[in-house]
């Protein structure tokens, strides 16, 4: 997994990088609430200089899908 991505996720949600896996999601991480979800999107857009669509934003359901979406944009 992209190290940079892990760092962003950990900073936005305020958890250790070691606790982030591909399966990390709003279901198993308390601080992944709707507000922090939007902050995550903004942070990702800033970091990778990309623009996520509204569909992308709604398709992010865990770190795995986040990583896939970022990859599809960064290419």
Partner 1 sequence: MEKETKRSIKSTVDWGSLCAILKGLDYTELNTREIELVSRQIEKTRIGADLKVAFLSNYTIDTLAPYLRVISGTHGIAVESYIAPYDQYFQELLSETSGTITFQPDVIHLDLSMKVLAPLICEKFLSLDDALKLSELERIVALMSQLANLAIKQTNAYLLVSNFLQPNYPQGGIADLKQQQGETEWYTKLNLALIECFRNNNRVFVVDKNNALARVGKENITDNKMLYLAKMELNDLGMQALAGELVRYVIAIAGKTKKNLVLDLDNTLWGGIVGEDGVDGLKVGKGYPEGDIFYAFQMYIKNLKQRGIILTLASKNNLEDVEEAFAKRAEMPLALTDFATKRVNWNPKHDNLVSIAKGLGIGIDSFVFLDDNPVERELVKSTLSDVVVPELPMDPSGYLSILMRSPYFEKLFLTEEDVNKTEQYAENALREDIREEIGDMGAFLSSLGTKMTIEKARKENIQRVHQLFSKTNQFNVTTKRYSVPEIEHFIENERFDLFSISVTDNFGDLGMVGLVLVEMKDHFSQIDSFIMSCRAMGRSIETAIMNIVKDKYLSSGCAERLVAEYIPTAKNVPVKQFFDDQGFSLVKKEGVPNKCYELKSKAKGAGLLECPGIEIYVGE
Q: Report d(CA 19, CA 37) in Å as an integer.
A: 17
CB 20 within 8 A of CB 63: yes
CB 31 within 8 A of CB 25: no
Query: Does residue 75 bind partner 1 (CB under 8 A)?
Result: no
Q: Which of residues 3-62 bind partner 1 (CB under 8 A)?
A: 8, 11-12, 14, 34-35, 38-39, 41-43, 46-47, 52-54, 57-58
Which spans of this chain sit near partner 1 (rule: CB under 8 A)?
Answer: 8, 11-12, 14, 34-35, 38-39, 41-43, 46-47, 52-54, 57-58
């Amino acid at each position: 997994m992209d190290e940079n991505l892990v760092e962003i996720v950990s900073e936005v949600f305020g958890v250790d990088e070691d606790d982030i896996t591909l399966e990390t999601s709003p279901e198993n991480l308390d601080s992944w609430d709707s507000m922090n979800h939007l902050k995550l999107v903004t942070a990702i857009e800033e970091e990778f200089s990309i623009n996520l669509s509204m569909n992308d934003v709604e398709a992010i359901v865990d770190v795995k899908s986040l990583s896939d979406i970022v990859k599809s944009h960064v290419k």
